[in-house]
Structure 1
Amino acid sequence: MLDNKKIVFIGAGAMAEAMISGIVAAQTISPEHIFVTNRTNTSRLKQLQDQYGINGIPNGELQLDQVDVIILAMKPKDAATSLQSIRQIIKPHQLILSVLAGVTTSLIEHLVPAGQQVIRVMPNTSSKIGESATALAKGQHTTKQNLSWAKHLFECIGEVYVIREEQMDIFTGIAGSGPAYFYFLIEHMEKEAVKAGLTKGTVREILAQTLLGAAKMIQEQEESPAILRQNITSPNGTTAAGLLALREYCGGEAITQAVHQASNRSKEISRQLENSIQNMNIPTAIEI
């Protein structure tokens, strides 16, 4: 257990559940020390409570001062309103972890008491099975001790990488959104294999194993992805034909644009939140 800290998830969507599932499965934090709340969907809170043994607390009933770590997992557009509603009761010792895409640590620091410790986190949904690629970027007031604690927390759901704030948008484009690109690829390959007569269940196993094997080759071999690709591409062979089709139909450009567009959307969300804060006339961070 990590110091018997108590944590609360504000927001109960897919990402919150993926993280809760991974943390509970790894036995890093006792389920009785995990709380989750949202604005209105009490049936969702009960579902999470029944499934994971945690505490589902309806909005307004959570005693925020009983937790050590506040994890922001609401929709990014709701961040300003949510933080404004709790900023007066946040305590100096509480660590704020944000999994909100596009929401910078400086924006959060503007909305919470002055000097509050904030860490921006970008996991992906593979955290549900302990295989997330998670990035951490600390705010200006966060101690090395709390950054280390957060790193240990998220190591229970996969690999953790400490990066700079300005690198979070591109990380979001490749890792935060990355699993969806692979699912999209598998979806199309599965469709064609089923058309050719293989059963969907068999195809799914084949494709999952193929993707897993390729991932392990990248992890365990010294060669770059480009060299690994070249090693299995015989002149005029089947792989060469497939890769030619990818080039002819702009497969590489599609991947490039997917990464760029996801990264740009992360930046856009940040700009939109900044504008919404200005329109709400929220004062600067209060002193603690």
Structure 2
Amino acid sequence: MCQQPSTPLINHNIVFYGAGSMAEAIVRGMIARSVVASPDIVMLNRSGNDRLAELRARYGVLASNDPEQRAQYLRTAPVIVLAMKPKDAAEALRALGPLLSPEQLVISVIAGLTIRTIQGLLGTHQPVVRTMPNTSSTIGLGATGISFSKEVDEKSRRLALNIFEAVGLTSVIDEDRMETLTGISGSGPAYIYYMMEAMIAGGIRGGLSAEQSTELTVQTVLGAARMVQQTGEDPAALRKKVTSPNGSTQAALEVLDKGEFFETVIAAVNRCAERSREMGAALEKELM
């Protein structure tokens, strides 16, 4: 159970429509950082009594899959976080629309679903916040992109930012840049993990144990990230500081350059963004 100071930042109900891992990560972060009190969080699911019971026991939140109770929570909550699977979004949002009043804030963590499509499925020009968190949100080190519909007022903007600042860094962007953000922070952890896999394999092939190679790789990546964060220096400047002319680091970087490492990473980011657009368009076509 997360420890919680006595005075929460937000003192009204927040309903999570969907109770998966991302919803849980956000809830855990909000409770741990006293953004909202546990009894003011409601988690809804269409099925999975065991999952809801687990969330109630772990966080002290309210949780339900009863249709009548669900409708009542959705009708009265000032803030609703859409956290269902994309394939379930159309049915859920079409049913949700008639329950809403104009002042209720809708926050989406559904990948690929635009503000226009959300409002279209709801059948109302609801204030909508579209977000793209990443998996590091589960440990409070997430990076979340946030875009707002024109109906979102300043108070609601601040509220949405408070929610996602509980699980890491937030960046407000124009919605048409959301796919680029996906290519960097949304899918970015996978690129780093892939490089770590290669570094670990290199250490093992060079005679280190798997445990040694893993520990050294993890600490190296962690230390490099912290150096950029804490010094405020550009990564290129830090790289130059550890690269002596004709030294071993320069030799290693030359190998990466021969493989066009720099341009390959940029191409990966661009392809991720492009694929995100393709998937979003296919999802919108399917849902509408």
TM-score strictly above 0.5? yes
Q: Distance in 1 between matches of 2:213 and 2:49?
A: 39
Q: Which is bigger in relative contact order (C-alpha 8 A, separation at least 6)?
A: 1
Determine whether 1:108 maps to 2:106. Answer: no
Name the aligned partner's letter for residue 200 of structure 2.
Answer: E
**Structure 2, gaps ≥5 residues long:** 1-7
Distance 1:185 1:13 in 2: 28
Q: 1:159 to 1:94 in 2, by over 3 A?
A: same
Report the secondary structure of 2:254's partner residue: helix
Contact 2:20/2:83 (<8 A) preserved: yes
CA distance in 1, matches of 2:18, 2:204: 38
Rounded Cα–Cα distance in structure 2 between residues aligned with 1:130 and 1:90: 31
Across the aligned residues of Structure 1 and Structure 2, the Cα RMSD in angstroms comes to: 2.1
How is 1:38-53 mapped onto 2 (pairs within 5 angstroms)? 38-53=45-60
| Contact preservation (8 Å) 2:26, 2:163 | no
Q: Describe the SS at the equivalent of 1:88.
A: helix
TM-score, length basis structure 1: 0.87
TM-score by structure 2 length? 0.87
Alpha carbons 1:80, 1:273 under 8 Å: kept: no
* Aligned equivalent of 1:13: 20
Task: Indicate the residue corresponding to 2:273 in structure 1.
Answer: 263
Name the counterpart of 2:174: 164
Q: How many pairs are equivalent?
A: 278
1:152-198 Cα deviation digits (max 9, x unpaired):
22212112211111111111110111112212222232233244444
- Structure 1 letter corresponding to 2:59: Y
Q: 1:65 aligns with which of 69, 72, 75?
A: 75
Residues 87 and 111 of structure 1 are in contact (CA less than 8 Å); yes or no, is this contact kept in structure 2?
A: yes
Task: Give, as a single letter, the amino acid of the residue that structure 2 aligns with 1:244.
Answer: E
Instruction: Report deviation, 1:240.
Output: 1.8
Q: Identity across aligned pairs (percent)?
A: 40
C-alpha separation in 2, matches of 1:252 and 1:41: 45
Compared with structure 1, are the counterparts of its residues 139 and 212 closer, same or farther at alpha carbon in structure 2 (3 Å cutoff)? same
Partner of 1:146: 156
1: distance between equivalents of 2:275 and 2:62? 33
CA separation of 1:49 and 1:180: change in aligned 2, threshold 3 A: farther
Residues 1:22 and 1:202: Cα distance change in structure 2 (over 3 Å): farther
1:230 maps to what in 2? 240
Q: Tell me the residue number matched to 1:244.
A: 254
The answer to whether the 8 Å contact 2:97/2:124 transfers is no
Q: Which blocks of at least 5 consecutive residues in structure 1 are unaligned?
A: 279-288
The equivalent position to 2:37 in structure 1, one of 13, 30, 38, is: 30
